[in-house]
Amino acid sequence: MAPVTVMQRVVKPTTRRGKRILMNKQPKLIENVKQTLFIKGKNTSEIARNCLKDLHQLKKPEAVHLNQKNEILPFEDVTPIERFGKKHDASLFAFASHNKKRPHNIVLGRMFDDQLLDMIELGVEQFKSLSEFKNEKVAAGIKPCLLFAGPQFHEQSILKRVQNLFVDFFQRENVDAVRLQGLEHVLMFTVDDSGEKIYMRSYKILLKKSGQKSPRVELEEIGPSIDFKLRRTKLASDDLFSRSCKQQYCMEPHNTKNINYDKFGTRMGRIHIAKQDINKLQTRKMKGLKKSVAEKKQQREQRKSKSTGIQSVKT
């Protein structure tokens, strides 16, 4: 049988709000902060639900939590998650499930062009939630400092991609400079010698007096504390991964000569012209600036005296 082509109906927006939403979902040279979907499966354990809830707390406010249970098997059919991601304009997702073969299961993944790019399956072996740590937490929306310990993150190709996925999942907007008092939160990922277990810890940075110019830094664990076991991975090919990391040439800044911008964003240009004689410039003629009869007579006498002096020198 010949393949059947399905024509998709293109719905054009009829309101300004609809046009604005579609324009915001289109590809951009400078991307928005990535949104994350948190999805619960049909069967979930209490540990998996609490783990998903704490990850949602770390990702706020760039996070969308779907309360309804969904009968989804990501490693068999990822189409429903891609549909949710396109609907909510989210390129990252976290999925929680539980069964006898894979208990307390967490799936983290990311998408490119509304299609699956990378996906890893992690089993929660030990979990300590945020509520179990009775201390002060960091504010929502704080950009964390990500630390990775273990040579396996640089030696094994799979763990390299897992590290890249963790960075893409937990980072926020890009910053050019970091203020010392702005470093408040640390997320640390440690891999064991076998490369199968990843330990995630969350700390709050405390800057205390040291008697010197630089403060004394202490770390206080605030949770969550999770011991992950790497179960399955579904990684993109090298060609697709390099295509997803490609940036447009026009994103590079071009230096234009003689054009700069002030602190208000006003464009200012510099024009180079020849040297001008200010006395010969034609200005606006005003009645109050006209010379009097005495001034004109004095100016004529000065011209005559100059001309007679030149003639006497020539003779």
CATH number of the domain bearing residue 109 = 3.40.50.10480
Q: Determine, yes or no, domain membership for 257.
A: no
- Given CA atoms 19, 20, 25, 29 in this order, what sign does their dihedral have? positive
Distance of CA 146 to the CA centre of its chain: 15
Distance of CA 33 to the CA centre of its chain: 5
Q: How many other C-beta atoms can be found within 10 angstroms of the C-beta atom of residue 85?
A: 25
The CA-atom distances, in angstroms, between 181 and each of 177, 205, 208, 214 are 12, 9, 11, 12
Contact assessment for residue 222 and residue 204, using Cβ atoms and an 8 Å cutoff = yes
Q: Determine, yes or no, domain membership for 59.
A: yes
The whole-model pTM stands at 0.72
Q: Determine, yes or no, domain membership for 306.
A: no
Give the pLDDT mean for 93-113: 94
Contact assessment for residue 244 and residue 254, using Cβ atoms and an 8 Å cutoff = no
Q: Determine, yes or no, domain membership for 170.
A: yes
Task: Name the residue range of residue 218's domain.
Answer: 33-238
Q: Determine, yes or no, domain membership for 266.
A: no
pLDDT of residue 159: 94
Q: Determine, yes or no, domain membership for 102.
A: yes
Q: Determine, yes or no, domain membership for 253.
A: no
- Count: domains in the chain: 1
Q: Determine, yes or no, domain membership for 72.
A: yes
27 compared with 241, residue with greater pLDDT: 241
pLDDT of residue 7: 54
Tens digit of pLDDT for each residue in 163-197?
999 999 998 888 777 787 778 999 999 999 988 99
Tens digit of pLDDT for each residue in 218-273?
999 998 999 999 999 999 988 888 888 887 665 556 677 888 888 787 888 888 88
Q: What is the Cα–Cα distance from 54 to 222, expressed in whole angstroms?
A: 12
